[in-house]
């Protein structure tokens, strides 16, 4: 069953418009969550808003918004004042332009939504806009108001519908130069690059999100299940990290010639902590019988 729409309005391209709805394309509903509890009684705790100066508990009708001008000095802003600056795009996604899909900077991508026609009216216009973008390899850029804030939005074809992704503003991104300016640029031999390229070829694959496994979520559920059954959970030993300096060229060569089966056998052997396999045991017994 389709969940409740997050936003309803119109998708507008010049004089063409059609009713549409936005549905969140992602969810954290299945993620394991914890509540704060009283460790002595096991009861859930409730949070309260407290005046930072007087220490008094503040009720819901006393809460308001304020912008901090200087330390500890706030300008109060009322709900009706915020309503007064609402924009046209509150109920309309107005397409401003179309850009080549390869020009999209992934750093600006924020939250994804499924964009679908709302009812039968306007389905033709929706399909025309979708298919035209698909033919041209273009992404539509527009604006939409979500939770009282106008956000840029990128819209692209996805199956029978479209994917609308809210975008970040430039002031919300940090400058990469602040992080990359101290990165060294050593001279790397062509042999090293070619070896690394061969490793990339060996591990070449296709994007398949079904292979993503949330190991931490699995461990959390196992922990909760074990605790709920009254069993004790023993903390595991922290993994020891090696401080040995490795030869990069040698490591690349070993990585290139290590087959997946070799890595699995190596990992399996470490997990057995030196125990002999059944085959080894059978071979040992055979040798003893022959010797006898």
What's the pLDDT at 259? 62
Nearest by Cα to 96 from 156, 143, 41, 52? 143
Burial (Cβ within 10 Å: 0-12, 13-18, ≥19) of residue 34: exposed
Q: Which residues contact 11 (CB under 8 A, 6 or more apart)?
A: 17, 18, 19, 20, 92, 93, 95, 115, 126, 129, 155
Could you give the angle at the alpha carbon of 57 between the alpha carbons of 56 and 62, nearest 5°? 105
C-alpha atoms less than 13 angstroms from C-alpha of 24 in its C-beta half-sphere = 10
pLDDT in tens, the chain (292 residues): 677 889 999 999 888 889 999 999 988 888 889 999 999 999 999 988 999 889 999 988 899 999 999 998 999 998 888 877 776 557 889 899 999 999 999 999 999 999 999 888 889 999 999 999 999 999 999 999 888 788 999 999 999 999 999 999 999 999 999 999 999 888 888 888 888 888 888 888 888 888 888 888 888 888 888 888 888 888 777 777 666 656 777 877 788 777 665 544 444 444 444 444 444 445 544 444 444 4
Q: Say how far apart CA 130 and CA 11 lie, in whole Å.
A: 11
The CATH number of 7-28+85-172, from 2.40.290.10, 2.40.50.220, 3.40.640.10, 3.40.50.20, is: 2.40.290.10
Q: Cα–Cα distance between 26 and 239 in angstroms, integer?
A: 33
| Residue 79, pLDDT score | 84
Q: Where are the domains of the chain?
A: 7-28+85-172, 186-200+247-285
């Amino acid at each position: 069953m389709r969940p409740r729409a997050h936003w309803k309005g119109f998708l507008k391209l010049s004089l063409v418009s059609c009713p549409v709805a936005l549905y969140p394309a992602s969810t954290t509903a299945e993620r394991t969550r914890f509540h704060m509890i009283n460790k002595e009684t096991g009861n859930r705790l409730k949070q309260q808003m407290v005046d930072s100066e007087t220490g008094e508990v503040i009720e819901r009708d006393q809460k308001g918004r304020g912008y901090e001008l200087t330390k500890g000095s706030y300008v109060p802003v009322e709900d009706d004042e915020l309503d007064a600056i609402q924009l046209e795009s509150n109920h309309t996604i107005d397409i401003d332009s179309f850009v080549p899909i390869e020009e999209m900077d992934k750093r600006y991508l924020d939250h994804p939504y499924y964009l679908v026609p709302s009812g039968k009216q306007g389905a033709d216009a929706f399909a025309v806009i979708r298919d035209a973008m698909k033919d041209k390899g273009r992404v539509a850029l527009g604006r939409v108001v979500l939770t009282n804030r106008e956000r840029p939005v990128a819209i692209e074809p996805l199956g029978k519908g479209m994917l609308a992704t809210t975008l970040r503003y430039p002031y919300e991104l940090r400058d990469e130069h602040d992080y990359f300016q101290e990165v060294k640029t050593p001279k790397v031999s062509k042999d090293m690059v070619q070896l690394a390229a061969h490793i990339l070829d060996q591990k070449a694959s296709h994007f398949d999100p079904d292979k993503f496994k949330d190991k931490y979520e699995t461990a959390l559920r196992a922990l909760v299940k074990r605790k709920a059954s009254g069993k004790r959970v023993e903390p595991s030993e922290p993994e020891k990290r090696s401080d040995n300096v490795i030869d990069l060229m040698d490591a690349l060569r070993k990585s290139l010639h290590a087959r997946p089966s070799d890595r699995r056998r190596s990992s399996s052997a470490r997990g057995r902590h030196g125990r002999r396999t059944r085959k080894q045991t059978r071979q040992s017994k055979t040798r003893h019988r022959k010797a006898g």
